[in-house]
Amino acid sequence: MPETLSRNYANLIGDQEVVSTKSFESRSSSNHTDIIGVFPEADKAQVRAACQQAQEAFGRWSKTPAPIRGELIGSIGEALSREKEALSRLVTREMGKTLKEARGSVQEAIDTCHFFQSEGRRLYGQTVPSEMPNKELMTYRRPLGVVGIVTAGNFPIAVPSWKIIPALLTGNTIVWKPSEDAPAVAYAFAKLIAEAGVPAGVLNVVFGGGKDAAGQYLVEMMDEGLLDKFAFTGSTAVGRLIGEVAGRNLLHPTLELGGKNPLVIMRDADLDNAVSGAIFSAFATGGQRCTSAGNIIIDASIYDAFKTRFLEAVKAIKIADPLEHEDVFYGPFINQRFFERWLSHYDWGQEDGATLLYGQGRISNDNKPAGFSGDASASYYGWPTVWENVKPGMRQFQQEVFGPTINLVKVNGIAEAIEAANAVDYGLSSAIYTNHREWAYQFKDQIEAGMTSINNTTNGAEAHMPFGGVKGSGNGTRESGVWVLDNYTYWHGVNDDISGKLQLAQMDTGYIGAGSEVSVGKLFD
């Protein structure tokens, strides 16, 4: 089959489309002969130039009244709504997400715009009573400056919107290095932002890889003093490196990292509901979500019943090219790199002594589950994989796999379930299925995670709720909702004294006079 004709794209720096001496291709995850576009590999000088353009634009953008910035955010939402179906199909074509999930991820970006449009009229400060007369105290939110952003390819429009939209609303300018796995979606998103009226230089986009490429160069701009904030979604290992660079430059980065998320099923759970939630938690997007379930922790008395129902549901999963099959449950791996990393976990399981219940590695035309349709050789597809006899000390239990794999872990009672759930270095998402309110309360009170669902999946986010983790899943910063505003602003306290004289707080304050002296010792003579 001949390769499709493709267009060359460019970095977006200031008001210029800037090409590079090196380039890379973006190919469809479902059909590697489908070249979506050719994108530049930005060099370090181009990344630096993008940061300088953002610095120049900051003065003008930060002085634009916040309600006007909010209206522009609303215009971005309108453009996304108009192009929702085309964007959704581009997401599916480029990174392999099902159309249902792709539409949901574009809607998440639209919802983010709707939420933050109104926040342009609510970037409230406070007036604070002073302890001195004729003196006023006020607080203001101020933008930080230039924000460097690096995002992953599994949610190529929803997750970038969580960073870009609030950063723009609060008056910051941006240099964005999107994932090399989904540059076409990023280019389309950036063009829609420009269409909405965001001035040139406010959002700059540089394309390329991570290590020894545009991503690393952008991180290094912190050491050159060209960035005032860094926001990253990706692996915990890279997040730690970014945190080190940010720390020595006294910047507080936003780090949204990996997860090994527990899903607990207690003996009183609605098993039908629990099975459907566990299937989605484990296998949605082919397990390529930071919030995917890693360990399903099951109360011993229902373990066998759950396992039987769960395996029946796993064997019924439909896998195919999501552009050709609307009812598919998951599609291909984003790329070969993700597939090969996932495939290595089969060796971990065997070395640990876990038991493989279902799954045979890569799907091929000669080795495929009953639910697979299409030509397996066109891409990288993985069998839905289920392990049991997995213990907390095992690598299989501890490490993020990032693919269609789940572990079944048997425990006895809520205390043991919580102990197992917390026995990982991550703390992003979590879930419990139970109708026992005390167990639900105990779980949400004791779980070490940034997010918890009760009788729902480990996945999912809403534009007005905080998203983020603890432990190895993040540094306490949050995406979305009003909480994210603290990540892109600093508080400015203003002390306005109109008394016409020097007044020193604590030293010149006229405290109320005391009553008659009391001797405590004499009270009890």
Catalytic residues: 256, 290
Burial of 294 (0-12, 13-18, 19+ CB in 10 A): buried
CA distance 337 to 341: 6
Q: How many CB atoms lie within 10 A of CB 211?
A: 8
Burial of 108 (0-12, 13-18, 19+ CB in 10 A): buried
DSSP 8-state code for residue 154: S
Q: Which residues pair with 411 in a beta bridge?
A: 299
Whether the CB-CB separation of 480 and 461 falls below 8 Å is answered with: yes
Whether the CB-CB separation of 319 and 375 falls below 8 Å is answered with: no
CA distance 472 to 429: 12
What ranges make up the beta strands (E) of 261-419?
A: 261-265, 293-299, 355-358, 385-388, 405-411
* Interior/surface letters 400-428, b for 16+ CB within 10 angstroms, e for the rest: bbbbbbbbbbbbeebeebbebbbbbebbb
CA distance 364 to 231: 39
Residue 89 sits at the vertex; the CA angle it makes with 88 and 92, to the nearest 5 degrees, is 90
Q: Which residues pair with 24 in a beta bridge?
A: 39
Distances (CA, A) of 481 to 55, 77, 117, 158, 233: 27, 16, 12, 14, 17
Of 245, 237, 305, give the one whose Cα is nearest residue 270.
305
In order, the DSSP letters of 231-249 are EEES-HHHHHHHHHHHHHT
519: which residues sit within 8 A by CB, 6+ positions away?
none
Whether the CB-CB separation of 283 and 313 falls below 8 Å is answered with: no
Six token digits for residue 214? 């545009």
Whether the CB-CB separation of 242 and 171 falls below 8 Å is answered with: no
CA distance 207 to 339: 23
